Amino acid sequence: MSQENAEIVRKVYAAWTSGDPPQAFEHLDPEVVWEAIEDAPDAGTFRKHSGVKRYMDDWLQDFEMLSFEFGQSIEVEGRLVMEQRGETKGRGSGLTTVINYAAVYTFRAGKVLTVKEYNTFGRALEAVGLSEQDAAD
């Protein structure tokens, strides 16, 4: 199931980075809850498609999404932990920024139900009760 769930997540980000958030909703449960990294400038909890759309639109208003990549992933008791890397360019400043982080996903009926972002892959692993050593084994 891990590969199928990882593919669902990839589709969400492909739609978002292409500038088409409504296409992402095909892969997000109507009751989705998305929690941004708690100490990030865009911190907050975004609920349902309307809230997630605001979150995605905010990013697209401020940044051009240049690329989005996924690193290692692991599934633990129905939760998918994925390492992620996004590269953006500020629309006002023209500066390129790279953000490395991770997220924990849950799913319902083949769609993303929850997203919780973390500063690091290690923190995301801790949230599901693992250490980086556990994930390496």
Q: For residue range 37-58, what is the model confidence (pLDDT) as tens digits?
A: 998 878 899 999 999 999 998 8
- Give 1's DSSP letter: -
Single-letter code of the amino acid located at 27: H
CATH number, domain with residue 34: 3.10.450.50
Distance CA 84, CA 17 (A): 13
Domain membership of residue 24 as a residue range: 2-136
Domain count, the chain: 1
- The pLDDT tens digits for 107-134 are 999 999 999 999 999 999 999 998 777 6
